[in-house]
Amino acid sequence: MILTDELLLNYKRCRRRTYLDVHGNLQQRDAEKEFLGKLRRESQAHIKDVLLGQSIVYQRPSVSRRNWSLNAQQTKTMMQQGVDCIYGGMLALNFADWQLSSKLVNAERGTLINPETLVSRLFNSDLEANKELQLISNSTNAIVKDLTFLASPTLLIKTAGNSNFGDWAYLPVNIKLGRRPKPEYKLIAAFHAQILAGIQGVFPPQSQLILRQHDSYCVNLEYWLPKMQATITDCITMLTELDEPEVFISRQRCSLCHWYNHCYNTAKSQKHLSLIPGVTPKRYEYLTEQGIETVESLAEINSSLVNETITEEIINQLQEQAHSIIKNQAIWKSTHNSEDKLEIPTKAIELYFDIEAEPELNLDYLLGVLLVDRQANTEVFYPLLAEKPEDEGVIWQQFLNLVASHQDAPIFHFSEYEVDAINRLAKLYGTPKTEIQALLTRFVDLHQLVTKSIFLPVESYSLKSLANWIGFEWREQGASGDQCVCWYDRWLKTSDRDSLTSILRYNEDDCRATFHLKDWLVNFLLQS
């Protein structure tokens, strides 16, 4: 078995993902999403930017990382030769050497530990994680003894020190696109440091991250090595004992995962509570401890279960959400005061607004507006599109002209993004504050209105989920905001007009879904 840094990174985010990547049926994986390919290309481009920007001169193994065994051999040879900087190398360590390297955690880092010292430390060590690994080793000997740890640090930089190679040593550097040093980056940096220690016989003086703004960050190995070792122990235990983690669908975490459909279908077949809005992993753990495992039992939940994890307010919300699902109907929140009328304006002319953006370029490239004339019974869609990123200012002005020519029309949208974008665009293109303040008084956020007052029998309060429930269907199969980002990227690179057409259809449908939702809300109010 091979335990890679990628498996470990995924384990930190979702234990089940690592389990399925090792033991799952690969036929059940989803095809890779185009958006993931785009993220990977951006990450590669960022690494190249850093290498160029910092004038880093490097050598790399002649074989790619796909041939990990040969790559690792070549990397080690380059380290023995004292190459200053190695890019694209791999580090491989077997289980026995990993155990030896664990001893170095207790040693003063930066000092050469000779093999005899290592062996004596091995037998005298009281390192908890290592003891646990030993236990696993005893119970699942064959698998663990075959275990190889595999790391792919972006760079290995030669530094002063005494190692198995001579009077030099290496330190690992990982170049990441993230803005902040996330815990999973630090965990992987510690993993790289320990594998490197096992190869060069000495702990690297540091393990570095270079982040989005090309800023360097030194990982605190004193803190992260024990955490990493404990994580490795848990991960190996799970993998060797075939302990498949339970499914838990979390939109944010699962949406880009290649096991999504497999896990979603599993959760659906189990009527898993994670498909109920408001059931977070922590709350789920607590609820199941209390024997609440079905939507029916959630509907019966009572305030005696209040504790530090779950307040009375949350209990009421979960209970009402469960009632809505069981009855398959929209219900008012008990917190909604019937005296407070929901403010949903209806006018002769209404505008429905949705934006498509490219976050990497900090660009709002499509301002879609559906104009609904209730008197004339017409609907006209205005796709204000920047075919070139530099046209953003032009479409902003077109948008201002369009909304100014319908001064009385309320502007319906779904989510806070549109308001944030209007403020950003106004600032960027110097639109007077008073004009924007007046404009924003016409904005009506339907997401906020729904989530403030109503429970619906849905799995999430996204526009897609709500509009699907009221019977609205998008024309583009598999379309999403992420996919639009890919289509726009493709358009910019290849001038493929079909990509633009797909974006416009998707954006128009988003505006139409918002329009349907608004009409449904008005009807719901009338009937209540």
Where along the sequence are the contacts to ligand SF4 (CB under 6 A)? 14, 16-17, 20, 247-248, 253-254, 257, 259-260, 263
Decide whether 228 or 247 has the Cβ nearer to ligand SF4.
Answer: 247
Cβ distance to ligand SF4 smaller for residue 132 or 293? 293
CA dihedral 132, 135, 137, 141 (to 10 degrees): -160
Neighbours of 143 (CB within 10 A): 16
Q: Please, where are the H alpha helices in 389-445?
A: 392-404, 417-428, 433-440
Distance, CA of 235 to CA of 3 (rounded, Å): 9
* 79 Cβ neighbours under 8 A, 6+ residues apart: 86, 156, 165, 170, 199, 200
**157 vs 247 by CB, closer to ligand SF4:** 247
Residue 157 or residue 187: which is nearer to ligand SF4 going by CB?
Answer: 187
Asked whether the CA dihedral 14, 16, 17, 22 is positive or negative, the reply is: positive
263 or 325: CB nearest ligand SF4: 263
Considering the complex, state which of residue 258 and residue 518 has its C-beta at the smaller distance from ligand SF4: 258
Copy the structure tokens of residue 381. Answer: 């869609």
Instruction: State the nearest-atom distance from the C-beta of 178 to ligand SF4, in Å.
Output: 18
Q: Give the nearest distance from C-beta 244 to ligand SF4 in angstroms.
A: 10
Q: Of 235 and 247, which has the nearer Cβ to ligand SF4? A: 247
Name the residue nearer to ligand SF4 (CB basis): 36 or 83. Answer: 36
Three-state helix/strand/coil letters over 149-190: EEECCCEEEEEEEEECCEEEEEEEEEECCCCCCCHHHHHHHH
With CA atoms as reference, report the closest residue to 294 among 258, 260, 270.
270
Of 37 and 281, which CB lies nearer to ligand SF4 in the complex structure?
281
From the centroid of its chain, how far is CA 314?
25
Whole-number minimum distance, CB 325 to ligand SF4, in Å? 21
In the complex, the smallest distance separating the C-beta of residue 148 from ligand SF4, rounded to whole angstroms, is 23
Instruction: Find tokens 């009385």 and name the residue.
Output: 408
CB of residue 182 to ligand SF4, shortest distance in Å: 16
Q: How far is the CB of 10 from ligand SF4 (least distance, A)?
A: 8
Helices and strands, counts by H and E, the chain: 22, 15
Backbone angles phi, psi at 507, to 5 degrees: -65, -40
Question: Taking CA 51 as the corner, what is the angle to CA 184 and CA 192, rounded to the nearest 5 degrees?
Answer: 35
Strand-pair partners of 3? 149
Least separation, in Å, of the C-beta of 117 and ligand SF4?
Answer: 42
What value, to the nearest 5°, has the Cα angle with vertex 147 and ends 141 and 151? Answer: 160
Shortest Cβ 56–ligand SF4 spacing (Å): 34
> Distances in Å between the alpha carbon of 385 and those of 389, 426, 495?
10, 17, 14
- CB count, 10 Å around CB of 105? 23
Paired tokens of 480 = 């999403």
CB of 273 to ligand SF4, least distance (A): 14
Choice between 32 and 296, CB closer to ligand SF4: 32
For ligand SF4, the closer of residues 227 and 253 by Cβ is 253
Tokens representing 289? 């401890």
Chain position carrying tokens 């403010």: 343
Least spacing, CB of residue 27 vs ligand SF4, in Å: 15
Task: Please tell me the number of Cα atoms within 13 Å of 33 on its side-chain side.
Answer: 20
Both tokens assigned to 215: 């800023």
Report in angstroms how near the CB of residue 124 gets to ligand SF4 at its nearest: 40
Shortest distance (Å) from residue 57 CB to ligand SF4: 39
Q: Which is nearer to ligand SF4, 261 or 501 (CB)?
A: 261
Q: How many CB atoms lie within 10 A of CB 510?
A: 26
Cα 455 to chain centroid, rounded: 27
